[in-house]
């Protein structure tokens, strides 16, 4: 279905491969929330597989995959995943308890704490594919580059908007 470039219409729902469009601002909010929830539901099978194969959450495997490339500070992990320091500490504690990572102090600055992947963690990352062989991976491979870039930009724009709203809500909660 081609949409006229001069007409602002938004997808509000779909039935199989059929898209419905609307120009109503209320419908556009509903459309975005539905699309978000549909996207989240796509990750449920991935999360279930990760849990059954390795007893890992999606966030935990993302951290391990980052650490497989190089050690990172707790602050770097938090910034990349948009997690507050207390959440990063809990996440790293759990991975450390399982022997998948270990902590070390920075050489130049002893206040820095680095998370490093252990051999056990590295083996787990190698044997636990994240997207390979999934419907998500196949769908991404079948899309043209322009569509992948457009969708990634839209999702990233939404993420930035949500994180900004979270910051605003947190500021309101902390004000007397």
Can you point out the beta strands (E) in 74-172?
101-105, 113-117
Residue 143: both structure tokens together: 């899309």
Percentage with pLDDT > 90 across the chain: 40
Q: Specify the pLDDT at position 23.
A: 62
Phi, psi at 38, each rounded to 5°: -65, -40
Answering whether pTM is above 0.75, one says no
For the chain, domain boundaries? 1-54, 56-130, 143-176
Q: How confident is the model at residue 5 (pLDDT cuts 50, 70, 90)?
A: very low
- As a whole number of angstroms, the distance between CA 55 and CA 100 comes to 12
| The architecture CATH gives domain 56-130 | Orthogonal Bundle (1.10)
Contacts 24+ apart (CB under 8 A), 29-37: 32/158, 35/11, 36/158
Q: Give the model confidence (pLDDT) of 36-80 as tens digits.
A: 999 889 888 888 988 998 899 999 999 999 999 999 999 999 988
């Amino acid at each position: 279905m081609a949409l006229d470039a001069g007409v602002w219409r938004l997808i509000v729902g779909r039935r199989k491969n059929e898209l419905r469009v609307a120009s109503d601002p209320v419908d556009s909010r509903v459309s975005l929330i539905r699309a978000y929830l549909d996207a989240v539901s796509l990750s449920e099978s991935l999360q279930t597989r990760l849990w059954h194969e390795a007893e890992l959450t999606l966030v935990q495997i993302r951290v391990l995959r980052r650490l497989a490339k190089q050690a990172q500070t707790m602050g770097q992990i938090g910034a990349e995943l948009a997690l507050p320091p207390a959440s990063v500490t809990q996440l790293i504690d759990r991975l450390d308890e399982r022997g998948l990572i270990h902590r070390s102090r920075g050489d130049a600055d002893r206040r820095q704490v680095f998370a490093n992947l252990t051999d056990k963690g590295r083996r787990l990352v190698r044997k636990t594919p994240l997207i390979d062989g999934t419907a998500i991976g196949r769908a991404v491979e079948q899309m043209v580059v322009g569509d992948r870039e457009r969708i990634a930009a839209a999702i990233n724009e939404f993420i930035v908007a949500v994180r900004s709203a979270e910051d605003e809500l947190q500021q309101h909660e902390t004000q007397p």
